[in-house]
Structure 1
């Protein structure tokens, strides 16, 4: 039997190696973006001498591997550098934006996870009936529609026609909790629709696959209601794949918010990275991309560990 600590250690080592590879790809890929930050800052009327002097002061004239090593060393020391466009410390810029993105992701998770679990249980109880087919149509439709379509549909219905929610999600450090909840309501609903279908279908599939087992039949013969059989006996044994899908969708909620934040002009990391790409602010784009990658890798690690803990057979070598 392999100990859980050794399994976690291997997963952490693989995650660290993956993050390093991602950092190389991010750094190299951003260097290939068209345009030049010096020209962007000075304008098209700048002389070649002025542009060259600014590039030298920013260290852009150094070889790419030298710039990568310096950037990676600063990142390991917790220093994201200085934004080229504004001259502000990138860590100070990212901190409130990261909080906004995490707040949005948590709000979307609090909406989507309970609804997905409830919908999956209902679909499993009434499988192959009209209720199951209706839920199946909803999940397929929500998967098929792109996020920006769902976002603009919600804006049209809830903001324009009904007028119960704002169309723009404008928050800052002084916004109250109630104000934040109101502001992130539509972005959170958009993300919830995007991720709920995967969790719902996995819940239904996992529960249905267990309903033919003998202990389920025994529970039914004891006179237990179908809801109690599913919730007390089937659902706990189906938690491993469900938990894996839930955590992976939480990773998507944090890393896949770019489109939603841009649509609702929400001041999160997604909006910041889009603005920074437009301004050719390379250090900010690199920092945001690395944070997204680290978050996704960390949550994938958590999903792997949860799967192993909930299914002890994976701890035994084959």
Structure 2
């Protein structure tokens, strides 16, 4: 993979994000409700509403509002939260850190478990282990987040069996063990579905690699089974798995909204729901744009990792 390819992808990302900014701005402008009414209340006088709309720039043409907003974004200024009266960068930045902790914990733990599970299923194809791992992956894929969350809450956070907290958040800088205890259930809710996707993909790809001609040839040359697995089968099965992980980041960004609301986790999802309920336009715009940037960059990173793992892609 050449530097020119990476630069082309970055250029494509910039173009897509430019389209996303137009879409985000347009959608937030047509949301039901009035931001001034949300701030001042339904009993505010028309004069006070008009004055606030002028102060917020809501009485200007849409094109002028967009250019003012995108100019601020390019300078790192996302405006001020209409509801909290705090800089949007502060509100969204804190929420992003909390969501990033949760997503990272889920993704790292799941990847460390799902890849060996998929490999075991492929190596023990047709056995009880393959059947059990396959059954788990099908159930995990079919279950929505709120069902998984409910089951985990009943099993580990019920009044009769309060093993883990049912919700809430502790900052890792204050109490790291407390943070982990509060993060286990929401991370597991996200992770079980991701684990099912990744283990199925690794199992499928590794089974195909183990049945390939060059693996048979390696066995005929006397290369040990362990070396064939580690040097040939697993690396070739990992490249498609990385692609699945990058696609699952899109699911993660959507699923985290539901999970954070269920477990009262103060991240991007919960902040976005609060902003939508209160028509806090600057916060909605900033979070939506941030999610688009994260998804675009994760796809670029996955392409780089796939090229590093798979020589065929690297030299293409």
- The two structures have a TM-score, normalised by structure 1, of 0.92
2:241 is matched with: 242
Which moved further from structure 2: 231-240 or 277-286? Answer: 231-240
Which moved further from structure 2: 255-264 or 172-181? Answer: 172-181
1:98 is matched with: 96
Do structure 1's residue 117 and structure 2's residue 96 form an aligned pair?
Answer: no
Question: Structure 2 CA distance, aligned partners of 1:231 and 1:247?
Answer: 23
2:180 is matched with: 181
Residues 309 and 297 of structure 1: is their aligned pair in 2 closer, same or farther, counting only changes over 3 Å? same
Which moved further from structure 2: 15-24 or 171-180? Answer: 171-180
1:32-47 → structure 2 map (5 Å cutoff): 32-47=30-45
- The two structures have a TM-score, normalised by structure 2, of 0.93
2:263 is matched with: 264
1:303 is matched with: 302
Question: Structure 1 CA distance, aligned partners of 2:212 and 2:173?
Answer: 55
Residues 311 and 224 of structure 1: is their aligned pair in 2 closer, same or farther, counting only changes over 3 Å? closer
Do structure 1's residue 70 and structure 2's residue 107 form an aligned pair?
Answer: no
1:191-270 → structure 2 map (5 Å cutoff): 191-221=190-220, 222=222, 224-225=224-225, 229-254=228-253, 256-270=255-269
Matched residues, number:
314
Residues 310 and 224 of structure 1: is their aligned pair in 2 closer, same or farther, counting only changes over 3 Å? closer
1:255 and 1:292 in contact (8 A); partners too = no
Question: Structure 2 CA distance, aligned partners of 1:314 and 1:220?
Answer: 25
CA-to-aligned-CA distance 1:62-82 (integer Å, 9 cap, x gap): 111111111001000011111
Question: Structure 2 CA distance, aligned partners of 1:95 and 1:263?
Answer: 21
Q: Secondary structure at the match of 2:291?
A: helix
1:280 Cα deviation after fit:
0.8
1:159 is matched with: 157
Q: Secondary structure at the match of 1:184?
A: helix
1:220 and 1:229 in contact (8 A); partners too = yes
2:236 and 2:310 in contact (8 A); partners too = no
CA-to-aligned-CA distance 1:217-237 (integer Å, 9 cap, x gap): 345453734x55423431022
Residues 189 and 315 of structure 1: is their aligned pair in 2 closer, same or farther, counting only changes over 3 Å? closer
Residues 62 and 173 of structure 1: is their aligned pair in 2 closer, same or farther, counting only changes over 3 Å? farther
1:187 and 1:260 in contact (8 A); partners too = yes
1:127 Cα deviation after fit:
1.3
Q: Secondary structure at the match of 1:84?
A: coil
Residues 285 and 228 of structure 1: is their aligned pair in 2 closer, same or farther, counting only changes over 3 Å? same
1:162 Cα deviation after fit:
2.5
Question: Structure 1 CA distance, aligned partners of 2:172 and 2:314?
Answer: 46
Question: Structure 1 CA distance, aligned partners of 2:112 and 2:94?
Answer: 28
Q: Secondary structure at the match of 1:238?
A: helix
CA-to-aligned-CA distance 1:12-62 (integer Å, 9 cap, x gap): 111111111111111101111111111111111112222111111111111
Question: Structure 2 CA distance, aligned partners of 1:267 and 1:31?
Answer: 26
1:254 Cα deviation after fit:
4.4
